[in-house]
Amino acid sequence: MAEAEEASLNIRSADLLFTPIPERIARLRDLAYNLWWTWHPEAQDLYRHIDADLWEEDYHNPVDFLRDVRQRKLEEAAANPEYLAEYDRVMAAFDRYMAAEDTWYRRTFGNANDVTIAYFSAEFGLHESLPIYSGGLGVLAGDHVKEASDLGLPFVAVGFIYPQGYFRQRLDQSGWQEAIYSKLNFADIAATQALTADGREVVVEVDLPGRTIYAKVYRIQVGRVSLFLMDTDIHPNSPQDRELSARLYGGDQEMRIAQEIVLGIGGVRALRQLGIHPTVWHMNEGHSAFLVLELVREKVAQGMPFDEAWREVRAQSVFTTHTPVPAGNDAFPLHLMEKYFNHFWPHLGLTREQFFDVALQQQSWGPTFAMTVLALKGSHAHNGVSKLHGHVARGMWHWLYPNVPQDEVPITSVTNGIHSSTWLAPAMRRLYDEALGPDWEEDLDNVALWAKVRDIPDERLWEVRQALKGDLVAIARERVRQRHLRLGSPPQVWPVLEPEIFTIGFARRFATYKRATLLFREPERLKALLNRRDRPVQIIFAGKAHPADDPGKLFIQQVYQMSQQPGFLGRILFLEEYDMALARALVQGVDVWLNTPRRPYEASGTSGQKAALNGVVNVSVLDGWWPEAYNGANGWAVGEAREYSSQDEQDWNDAQHLYRILEQEVIPTYYDRGSDGIPHRWLAISKESIATIAPVFSTRRMVKEYVTRLYLPVAEMQA
């Protein structure tokens, strides 16, 4: 059965759940089942324009929306000529996209080569209504998949569906983070059952100690790319195994190893059942590295000796490492590996010792089986995610390549980027349509084209920037109102944010190395900075700490408590529940994006790229992607690009420098107005930032690099 037919059959079986849709606009349902709408605001408007309140209530989820919407509203839309014109335009664009033959991949490489790339990731950040991501890694994976679709890559993605997703965040009265898990109903999201060629549902089996575990496979369509997600919350798994896929990064090490076995080994088996035979296997971070073992097992089962099988699998595999933070590199104690793999290694033709040797890493607490080591040894091409991170990773993993100088350790780098359409505010898009021409997106990574941004009239850019800040202020006020209602506290008497005030945004996961509280080192100095009559400042914080990370939660509490102190109240605001929706509002609405990681722990970072695309100016430590982007005129660099012997010294130096540039440069520049009230010097920096960052730090450039530098060379090794 053709894939499209199969999908629509699946959708139709869910028909009973939906409000009957008038025939004239019936394709709203097809549209809902392809996440193409997540990066086409005009497609989202088709739902919003039917019932804007419901669209918000259903958290921008069209599947949910189509179930909840009143039939009368649908009928009104179907009788409204303006709506129908809009509907026809969007559907035509959608059809053109899905049918396009002249994609970048086809144009560049033809379709003669039968390359298929399989991309494995433990999380995918595609939209706020699909909570199967925790932070930057997931959002990057989601952006990668969207771009793979845009460029027309032969590409499938594999991951895990978490019925409880990642947690939703609430702060109690003291500012302590509480995690709320709620059950995700699969009927509410744009997932359908994955089916085999002959129409059977796909269920994979994986052996765990003393039992077999089953995972059912769902499919989510992301433009032209299929994303397959495994779910273990099915009969006949034991309650404990059904919990396995319940939460992203929940549970203990046993749950984690079991999840990673299902992801890596089960993921390969899922693709086999689907009749998909990748020629390139891309592990996005080490969580999926067990796939290497499964691919080797398949070959050994066909009679190939282990060494040869290993060489062949290695030659098809690509691995991206994402963090120099030790906790981000999974490593399992050997007794756990013994428990979970003693039935597996005989199938590889290995002894226990030989098996452990495949990924052995000595750590302070003893020998472990390390996923990063497995992935590095089991892949031909490997990369870090910025030039600086590549350098750091070569140092970190030098011990695996003792015979080469550190600079020649074979870990290259592909600097992260963002999927521009996902993160660009519609109002900014209209400016770019005018300045760059209507087809600028086709040519998104053309640096020369973006020079035209400098021609945008200051008053136009200023007007849009202020409007976006107004949108953010409205969202923040609503969130604060909701919080006060929830806590039963009196409505706030202070104004929550003012659109005329210079606004700094700081939002990211609250891992301690990101140093959210760096600005609090000298509270009096900060208070003075926030409250100058002639140039006041407000700071918005948001971000979740990992549920097991108490130091991270303490940082959140410190920010929250500071925000309640006299002198800070109304000037510092912590917003709960940082997710892709809040991220969009923040990176589009603030004036400055602040980034203060302890160098060199931020492998790349991408939120600052989202901000820059929208005309927000970066003030950032020279870590991750920023040293590649910063040119002295497109934002500010905090601290020095050097190493420190003590963290205290580093923190002190960076904080001093940050205060100084805020006080003497950033804030005065923002408040330096022309006779027309417009900050022309500020807008020059904003334009310089857009022009230099938008074309380079996008997934357009990034995925093209993955194709030409990693995927195709690996594919050609097998030819």
Contact positions toward ligand PLP, by CB under 6 A?
A: 135-136, 139, 508, 578-580, 583, 605-607, 610
Question: Whose Cβ is closer to ligand PLP: residue 33's or residue 423's?
Answer: 423
- Count CA atoms within 13 Å of residue 493 on its CB side: 2
Question: Whose Cβ is closer to ligand PLP: residue 127's or residue 571's?
Answer: 127
DSSP-derived 3-state class of residue 363: strand
> Backbone dihedral region of 349: left (phi > 0), alpha (psi from -120 to 50 degrees) or beta?
left
CB of 509 to ligand PLP, least distance (A): 6
- The structure tokens listed for 683 are 């807008």
Question: Whose Cβ is closer to ligand PLP: residue 261's or residue 594's?
Answer: 594
CB of 289 to ligand PLP, least distance (A): 23
Q: DSSP per residue over 135-185, as a string?
A: SHHHHHHHHHHHHHHHHT--EEEEEE--TT-SPEEEE-TT--EEEE--PPP
CB of 246 to ligand PLP, least distance (A): 21
CA 195, 197, 200, 205 dihedral sign is negative
Question: Whose Cβ is closer to ligand PLP: residue 378's or residue 605's?
Answer: 605
Reported for 664-671, long-range contacts at CB under 8 A and 24+ positions apart, including other chains, are 665/636, 666/592, 666/617, 666/619, 666/636, 667/502, 667/529, 667/532, 667/535, 667/537, 668/535, 670/502, 670/535, 670/591, 671/502, 671/534, 671/535
Give the CA dihedral 240, 243, 244, 249, nearest 10 degrees.
-130
Question: Whose Cβ is closer to ligand PLP: residue 287's or residue 544's?
Answer: 544
Q: Give which of 36, 35, 31, 34 is closest to 50, Cα–Cα.
A: 31
CB of 531 to ligand PLP, least distance (A): 27
CB of 556 to ligand PLP, least distance (A): 15
CB of 315 to ligand PLP, least distance (A): 32
Contact 397, 372 (CB under 8 A): yes
Question: Whose Cβ is closer to ligand PLP: residue 117's or residue 583's?
Answer: 583
CB of 168 to ligand PLP, least distance (A): 13
Question: Whose Cβ is closer to ligand PLP: residue 175's or residue 417's?
Answer: 417
Q: Measured between alpha carbons, how far is 8 from 16 in angstroms, rounded to an integer? A: 14
Question: Whose Cβ is closer to ligand PLP: residue 163's or residue 624's?
Answer: 624
Q: Is 16 exposed, middle or buried (0-12, 13-18, 19+ CB in 10 A)?
A: exposed
Residue with tokens 């959140």: 556
Question: Whose Cβ is closer to ligand PLP: residue 230's or residue 587's?
Answer: 587
CB of 579 to ligand PLP, least distance (A): 5
CB of 125 to ligand PLP, least distance (A): 6
538 secondary structure, DSSP code: E
CB of 583 to ligand PLP, least distance (A): 3
Question: Whose Cβ is closer to ligand PLP: residue 323's or residue 563's?
Answer: 323
- The structure tokens listed for 208 are 């765990």
Query: Which element (helix H / strand E) includes 73?
Result: helix 71-78
